[in-house]
Amino acid sequence: MEKEKFKCPGCGTEITMDVHEFVDVKEDPAYKDAIMSGAFFLAQCPACGASTLAEYPMMYMDPDRKLTVYMAPGHDDSLLSQLNSLELPASAVDPEAVFRVVQDGGELLEKILIADGGRDDRVIELYKALVYENIKEEWPDVRREDLLYYLDGEEDYFIIWDYTNAMGEQLTVNLDEALYQELVQDYLAALEVPAGKYVEVNATWLASRIDVE
């Protein structure tokens, strides 16, 4: 753990924040709880009390889920090449392990929820693309990135971020298990990722692999 100093955007007071560059949630489950609650990247100003979002590069590791996610805000195209530059012998690579790169805490949270739900994020991205194609005519202001996977207990569905119905309730789309399994069977092979390699699985990545329109 290191410490980072920055100024409060509200009052200018210097804030000292603990920076955790490597997080293993098996060793310390409290880290996962903080990420899920949104508190992990928040720093509170000692003077005015305002909370500030301060995201930074961080490696998230969940050995039980075989999930490793590198969150790198504002990263450039060279990051994946750097992360994948080390060639490991096949015997040292777990083919079931998942290595991902994300831009921010929201994307990190979604990857965690997908793993907790026992889903494959590549298939989830394809499913979101299909949902978007089905709703964009009725909801023309909805953007593709407004669709987020969410897990509530044993129920998983998609949230349409920042959209509510007439009752003020969050708009959601249920995940159909039969359709999900059909996508796994028909498309997972086309979405293959080399074992042991980092990939930034998002809408742009999906469009480079499959024409979903």
Smallest CA-to-CA distance from 123 within 114, 132, 112, 134 is with 114
For 209-213, which contacts have Cβ atoms below 8 Å and span 24 or more sequence positions? 210/126, 212/126, 212/129, 212/130, 212/133, 213/133
Residue type, 4: E
Which helix (H) or strand (E) element contains residue 156? strand 155-164
Contact indicator for 1, 19 with CB cutoff of 8 Å = yes
Instruction: Write down the pLDDT at residue 138.
Output: 84
Q: 50 and 61 share a domain? A: no
d(C-alpha 70, C-alpha 103), whole Å: 9
Q: How many domains does the chain have?
A: 2
d(C-alpha 181, C-alpha 184), whole Å: 5
123 Cα distance to chain centroid: 14
- Domain around 172: 57-209
Q: 165 and 70 share a domain? A: yes
Q: What is the pLDDT of residues 72-113, one digit of tens each?
A: 999 998 999 999 998 877 778 899 999 999 999 999 999 999
Contact indicator for 72, 63 with CB cutoff of 8 Å = no
Q: What is the pLDDT of residues 41-70, one digit of tens each?
A: 998 899 998 888 889 999 999 999 999 999
Instruction: Write down the pLDDT at residue 197.
Output: 95
Instruction: Write down the pLDDT at residue 83.
Output: 94
Q: 8 and 100 share a domain? A: no
0.85 exceeded by the pTM? yes
Segment 145-163 mean pLDDT: 90
Q: Does pLDDT of 178 surpass 80?
A: yes
Q: 193 and 116 share a domain? A: yes
Q: 15 and 67 share a domain? A: no
Q: 52 and 64 share a domain? A: no
Q: 51 and 76 share a domain? A: no
